[in-house]
Amino acid sequence: MKDCKKVSEEISSDKNCQTNLLEKAQFYFHLSICPPCRRYFKHIKSLKNGVQNIFKEFVKENEGHIKKIEEDVIQKIKKQ
């Protein structure tokens, strides 16, 4: 059985610790019975989504610029 320490480590770590279905089931089972871990999980998840949204906005705002960089790179590769 997973405890809070283990679960919170898994939540905050970027790599996937839940290598199999049993691990995953234990992880979500713990979240379902433990409100503090559930809150922590939601918090981290929204933080990660927030970062992703910021990145998406950045890409959107700089789309033209990024395209130009891409074209430059392609040109350079073609010249080689």
CB of 10 or CB of 37, closer to Zn ion: 37
Taking the C-alpha atoms of residue 75 and residue 65, their distance in angstroms, rounded to an integer, is 15
Q: Is 17 in the site for Zn ion (CB under 5 A)?
A: no
C-beta separation of 46 from 38 below 8 A: no
Query: Does 37 sit near Zn ion (CB under 5 A)?
Result: yes
Q: Which of 23, 34, 54, 77 binds Zn ion (CB under 5 A)?
A: 34
> How far apart are alpha carbons 51 and 15 in whole angstroms?
17
Give min distance, CB of 36 to Zn ion, in A: 6
Report the interface residues with Zn ion, using CB under 5 A.
4, 34, 37
